[in-house]
């Protein structure tokens, strides 16, 4: 194609124009045909690599970095615990105060109950009833000994002289 139309590419356009109706006909003949996928002509080869004989080289700086990270984590943990300790102690003290208040109320109730029980046990009517059951009598005037002014040394006193 040494003509000017061949040089300018018009011949190519004419050839395309002649082939275009055939492609349309081909598309009409097979409507289920898919277009080509991008990079469909590539083939990727997977090669198995055996690294079982490879030995890792020692990194002298890695040990220092590891200990630095551990130290930083410890310092961070201590700082966090020292920040949270007062609030935790306050909460625990609150629980302890509430339990002590409950125990105080229980002890006050028990004290009231014991005072009522003591009052019933030492009532004069009950003491007279117990004395009558055990055949006890009122002491005579000579049988009563007063401890605070006794001239007799045989009587033990718990007073300071």
Out of 37-41, 57-61, 89-93, 104-108, which region has the weakest mean confidence (pLDDT)? 37-41
Give the whole-angstrom CA distance, residue 91 versus residue 85: 10
Out of 39-48, 108-117, 144-153, which region has the weakest mean confidence (pLDDT)? 144-153
Q: What is the pTM of this model?
A: 0.40
Find the mean pLDDT for residues 66-88. 96
Give the whole-angstrom CA distance, residue 78 versus residue 71: 11
Find the mean pLDDT for residues 48-61. 90
> What distances in angstroms separate CA 68 from CA 26, 71, 72, one per listed residue?
72, 5, 6
The tokens describing 81, both together, are 């615990």
The tokens describing 82, both together, are 């020292």
Percent of the chain past pLDDT 70, that is, above it, reads: 73
Q: Is 160 helix (H, G, I), strand (E, B) or coil?
A: coil
Would the CA dihedral through 138, 140, 143, 147 be positive or negative? positive
Per-residue pLDDT band at 19 (split at 50, 70, 90) = low
Is the CB of residue 126 less than 8 Å from the CB of residue 120?
yes
Give the whole-angstrom CA distance, residue 19 versus residue 28: 15
Which pLDDT does position 16 carry in this prediction? 57
């Amino acid at each position: 194609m040494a003509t000017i139309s061949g040089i300018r590419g018009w011949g190519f356009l004419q050839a395309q124009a002649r082939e275009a109706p055939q492609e349309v006909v081909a598309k009409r003949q097979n409507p289920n045909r898919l277009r080509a996928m991008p990079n469909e002509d590539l083939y990727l080869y997977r090669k198995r690599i055996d690294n079982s004989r490879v030995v890792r080289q020692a990194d002298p700086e890695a040990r220092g970095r590891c200990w630095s990270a551990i130290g930083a984590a410890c310092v961070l943990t201590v700082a966090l615990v020292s920040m949270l300790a007062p609030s935790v102690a306050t909460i625990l003290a609150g629980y302890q105060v509430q339990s002590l208040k409950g125990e105080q109320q229980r002890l006050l109730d028990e004290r009231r109950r014991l005072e009522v029980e003591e009052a019933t046990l030492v009532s004069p009517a009950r003491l007279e009833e117990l004395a009558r059951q055990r055949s006890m009598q009122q002491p005579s005037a000579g049988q009563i000994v007063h401890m605070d002014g006794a001239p007799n040394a045989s009587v033990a006193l718990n007073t300071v002289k």
